[in-house]
Amino acid sequence: MVSYSVIDKKEKIKMAYHHSKQLYKKQRRSKRLLKFSLSIILIILIGVSAVLIDNFFNRSQSVQIASTGIQARVQSSSINVFRTPYFQFQADESWREVTDINNPNKFVYRSYNANLVQHEFVVEIDDITPIALDNENTTRNIPIKIEGNRLAAPFGISDNCSAFVPEGSKEQARVSFNEAEFPCNPDGNSFVVVASLIGGNEFFEHVSSDGTSHRYKLTYQDSTFTPTGREFRGIVDSFQLL
| Residue range 158-178, pLDDT digits in tens | 999 999 999 999 999 999 999
* Cβ atoms of 143 and 196 closer than 8 Å: yes
Quick one: pLDDT at residue 19?
56
Other C-beta atoms lying within 10 Å of the C-beta of residue 212: 11
Quick one: pLDDT at residue 106?
96
In this structure, the dihedral spanned by the alpha carbons of residues 184, 157, 215 and 239, taken in order and rounded to 10 degrees, is -160
Instruction: Give pLDDT tens digits for 199-214.
Output: 999 999 999 988 999 9
Instruction: Give pLDDT tens digits for 97-121.
Output: 999 888 999 999 999 999 999 999 9
* Residue 23 clears pLDDT 60, i.e. is over it: no
Instruction: Give pLDDT tens digits for 36-70.
Output: 777 788 778 776 665 555 554 444 433 333 334 44
